[in-house]
């Protein structure tokens, strides 16, 4: 017997997999179940694994697999009827269908399984993201790199994040957001004039922007001087 939250999460993951072909992110699951932290999602997934409803491919990111469904839900699915009624409030906010309609600033790519994101330019000091908007340049991105929300691409300038696997000339895929968890790599706007890609660390009333290269120094600012403009979700590299 599953708890209500376990049942809701299993339904959400199953619907997301059927709609997109890949499992939802922990952030999407947290928002769908209206939980305050991702630790609750970890506990629910572990419980579903122990009960034989879910499995994880540990060598891949976002690789959950629904092994089986509860009997009542499985019967509804096999009859091609709607998912269990209690799952209705948790309809996933995912990318599907006509990408040019679902995501602002994203055009459908001709190649199957990809979309075109706006490429705003090189991420370097000088301009906020709003000032870098350029609707003429786009980059084709696999759908599997994207989750819900609006995304854009930036070209990396410099070597400050090389130990995080981000090299000069790489193209990073950014999900537009104004918030981020501690330790995530973000696009940060400093003093409304400098844009940088760094790892975010909150230290009391301050924010540290941490490079991934010992040749570069961590910079610490009062929190009101730093504004998050996006979070790193993927990377493209040409050889």
Q: Which residues are catalytic, by number?
A: 160, 198
Contact predicate 141/128, CB 8 Å: no
DSSP character string of 99-123: HHHHSTT-EE-SSTTEEEEEEEEEE
Asked if 186 and 174 count as a contact pair (C-beta separation under 8 A), the reply is no
Cα separation values, 128 from 65, 199, 201, Å: 40, 18, 20
Q: Which two tokens stand for residue 202?
A: 């909150």
Q: Where are the beta strands (DSSP E) in 33-74?
A: 54-56, 64-66
**Cβ 23 vs Cβ 13: under 8 Å:** yes
| DSSP secondary structure of 139-173 | EEEEGGG--SS-EEEEEE-SSTTGGGT--TT-EEE
């Amino acid at each position: 017997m599953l708890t209500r939250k376990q049942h809701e999460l299993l339904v959400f993951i199953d619907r997301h997999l059927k709609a997109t072909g890949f499992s939802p992110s922990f952030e999407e699951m947290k928002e769908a179940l209206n939980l305050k932290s991702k630790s609750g999602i970890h506990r629910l997934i572990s419980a579903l694994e122990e009960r034989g409803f879910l499995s994880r491919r540990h060598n891949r990111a976002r690789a959950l697999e629904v092994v089986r469904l509860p009997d009542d839900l499985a019967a509804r699915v096999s009859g091609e009827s709607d998912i269990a009624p209690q799952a209705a409030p948790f309809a996933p906010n995912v990318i599907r269908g006509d990408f040019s309609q679902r995501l602002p600033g994203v055009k459908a790519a001709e190649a199957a399984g990809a979309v075109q994101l706006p490429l705003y330019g090189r991420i370097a000091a000088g301009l906020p993201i709003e000032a870098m908007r350029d609707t003429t340049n786009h980059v084709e991105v696999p759908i599997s790199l994207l989750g819900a929300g609006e995304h854009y691409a930036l070209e990396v300038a410099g070597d400050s994040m090389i130990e995080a696997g981000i090299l000069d000339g790489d193209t990073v895929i950014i999900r537009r957001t104004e918030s981020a968890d501690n330790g995530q790599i973000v696009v940060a706007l400093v003093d409304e004039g400098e844009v940088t890609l760094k790892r975010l660390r909150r230290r009391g009333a301050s924010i540290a922007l941490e490079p991934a290269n010992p040749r570069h120094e961590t910079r610490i600012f009062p929190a009101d001087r730093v504004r998050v403009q996006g979070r790193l979700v993927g990377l493209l590299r040409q050889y």
